[in-house]
A and B are shown apart, each in its own frame.
Chain A
Amino acid sequence: ELKVEQNPLFLSMQEGKNYTIYCNYSTTSDRLYWYRQDPGKSLESLFVLLSNGAVKQEGRLMASLDTKARLSTLHITAAVHDLSATYFCAVDMSSNYKLTFGKGTLLTVNP
Chain B
Amino acid sequence: EPEVTQTPSHQVTQMGQEVILRCVPISNHLYFYWYRQILGQKVEFLVSFYNNEISEKSEIFDDQFSVERPDGSNFTLKIRSTKLEDSAMYFCASRLTGGYNSPLHFGNGTRLTVT
Which A positions have Cβ atoms within 8 angstroms of B?
Answer: 31, 33, 41-45, 48, 50, 88, 90, 92, 94-104
User: A42–B42 contact, CB under 8 A?
Assistant: no
Query: Nearest chain B CB to A85's CB is how many angstroms away?
Result: 14
Cα–Cα distance between A45 and B106 once the two chains are bound (Å): 9
Majority DSSP secondary structure for residues of B touching A:
strand
Query: Nearest chain B CB to A78's CB is how many angstroms away?
Result: 26
User: B106–A103 contact, CB under 8 A?
Assistant: no
Query: Nearest chain A CB to B60's CB is how many angstroms away?
Result: 12
User: B56–A88 contact, CB under 8 A?
Assistant: no
A45, A50, A94: the one contacting B104 at CB < 8 Å is: A45
User: B48–A43 contact, CB under 8 A?
Assistant: no
User: B42–A48 contact, CB under 8 A?
Assistant: no
User: A31–B100 contact, CB under 8 A?
Assistant: yes
Query: Nearest chain A CB to B72's CB is how many angstroms away?
Result: 21
Total number of B residues with any Cβ neighbor in A under 8 Å: 24
**Pairs across A and B, CB under 8 Å, 19 listed:** A42-B91, A42-B107, A42-B109, A43-B104, A43-B106, A45-B103, A45-B104, A88-B43, A90-B43, A95-B98, A96-B98, A97-B33, A98-B45, A98-B56, A99-B35, A101-B42, A101-B43, A101-B44, A103-B42
Q: Which A residues lie within 8 Å of B45 (CB)?
A: 98-100
User: A97–B106 contact, CB under 8 A?
Assistant: no
User: Is residue B101 contacting chain A, with contact meaning CB distance below 8 A?
Assistant: yes
User: A96–B101 contact, CB under 8 A?
Assistant: no
A43 with B91, Cβ < 8 A, contacts A94-B56, A98-B48, A101-B44 known: yes
User: A104–B55 contact, CB under 8 A?
Assistant: no
Cα–Cα distance between A95 and B100 once the two chains are bound (Å): 8
B104, B107, B109: the one contacting A97 at CB < 8 Å is: B104
Q: Which B residues lie within 8 Å of A33 (CB)?
A: 103-104
User: Is residue B51 contacting chain A, with contact meaning CB distance below 8 A?
Assistant: no
